[in-house]
Structure 1
Amino acid sequence: MTTGTMLDQLLEHKIVAILRGIEDRHADAAGQALIDGGIRLMEITMNTPGASVMIERWRMKFDGKAFIGAGTVLDLEMAKVAVDAGAQYLITPNLDEAVVAYGRERGLSVWPGVMTPTEIVKAWKAGADAVKIFPMGTLGTKYLSEIRGPLDQIPMMATGGADLSNLAEYFRAGANAVGLGSKLVNLEWIREGKYDQVTERARQFVDAVQDL
């Protein structure tokens, strides 16, 4: 999987499901429920206990069904653990150029978390093929639309604050994709075994982005 191909997947499917704090015993059923709802990119955050074990298992279990990434990759050490587990892309809340370089060396997309125009351009020049604008819940869509003007060639995934009611606003402001955590992945439903509701929520988001 080349970096270009993974970027193509991000731009086509427009949603990355963020699984943070999910228990291993629920992970496989939750992943399948999201896939059944049409989700094709899923990240397990590296601050989730057992993340690398789950990533490795998902790569085998969901091969050909979804693309599995590692999130909250804070530094090079975490990046190496994630890649060894089989992560197909790396997502960070921060810009660590060593992580971007490592991903490039391994042929993996790295989508670093950035906020300011300076950080966005720095990440782009370091080799990131897309950036994660974070925290969007605080920054707001007006901020995204303002930085989009001069930075129109850089693919941007907006993470934080998006839900079904404002999803279109995110894309109108210039987002190419969104990272969705608890608004998509309801851990209480998962723990209660309500996987049909997880699938239905995923389908609602997938349908909502199709025409955006």
Structure 2
Amino acid sequence: MSILNVLKKEKIMAMIRGLSPATTDQTLDALANGGIRFIEVTTNTDGAYALVSRWRTAYSDDLYIGIGTVLDVNMAKQAIDAGAQFLVSPNMDAEVIAYGIRHQIDVYPGVMTPTEIVKASKAGAKAVKVFPMGSLGGASYLKEIRAPLDQIPMIASGSVGLHNIREVIAAGACAVGMGGHLVNKQWIEAGNYAAMTKLASECVSLVKE
């Protein structure tokens, strides 16, 4: 099964961004204990590439670990060398997509408009990340652009949380990217990882219904 097909089944990709090195392992464990299997670590997280290398070894086939905020080919190279299983970008860069294709690694580029969605698909992206979802209008926007472009898998990212995850999936998202609405920095600072595990479990249960 391709990694995209697994993502379509799991539905949720959790994003770890800008956490201190002391909290990243506990955050990952909290998410995994809640049933999250896809983790995106952004390049503006301290030691992102080293984290991915270590987690790929530690978690083997239990989790899928990718790198986000991949802005150019140099970042893509470092991410793939570190063992990233997929790449995520906030923008659409044809060179990054092509690099991923050459190395048989999925790239999910960030897009906003129908034009960008089609360009990314033609460049070889197996799925696109519709971002920022909340600012674009949420589920209603996704539903409208999915009508003529339903052949292109879309991952909804930005302002997706427990409050709207079912609505976004119902609008046609093949999966969702979840940042602060799941990886809650206040809980992390307070050491309340149990709350994150509980929330993750609730989100997983919702999308599996």
TM-score class, shorter-chain normalisation, is: over 0.9
Paired position in structure 1 for 2:93: 96
Amino acid of the residue matched to residue 183 of structure 2? V
Amino acid of the residue matched to residue 203 of structure 1? S
Tell me the TM-score normalised to structure 2 length.
0.96
How far off its partner does 1:183 sit?
0.6
How far off its partner does 1:138 sit?
0.4
- Structure 2: 5+ residue runs without aligned partners? none
Between the two proteins, the alignment pairs up a number of residues equal to 208
Task: List, as ranges, runs of 4+ consecutive aligned residues in structure 1 with deviation greater than 4 Å.
Answer: none
- Structure 1: 5+ residue runs without aligned partners? none
How far off its partner does 1:98 sit?
0.5
CA distance in 2, matches of 1:32, 1:163: 19
How far off its partner does 1:61 sit?
1.2
Paired position in structure 2 for 1:63: 60
Equivalent positions of 1:75-114 (< 5 A) are 75-114=72-111
How far off its partner does 1:192 sit?
2.3
Please tell me whether residue 115 in structure 1 is matched to residue 132 in structure 2. no
How far off its partner does 1:72 sit?
0.6
* More displaced 10-residue stretch of structure 1: 177-186 or 25-34: 25-34
Amino acid of the residue matched to residue 194 of structure 2? D
Percentage of pairs with the same residue? 52
Cα offsets for 1:160-208 (capped at 9, x unmatched): 1111111121122211110000111112212322121111111011011
CA distance in 1, matches of 2:58, 2:20: 17
Give the alignment's Cα RMSD to 1 decimal.
Answer: 1.0
Q: Which of 15, 20, 23 in structure 1 is aligned with 2:17? A: 20
Q: Which of 156, 161, 164 in structure 1 is aligned with 2:159? A: 161
What secondary structure sits across from 1:48 in the alignment? Answer: coil
CA distance in 1, matches of 2:39, 2:189: 18
Q: Which of 131, 135, 157 in structure 2 is aligned with 1:134? A: 131
Tell me the TM-score normalised to structure 1 length.
0.95
What secondary structure sits across from 1:153 in the alignment? Answer: coil
How far off its partner does 1:20 sit?
0.5
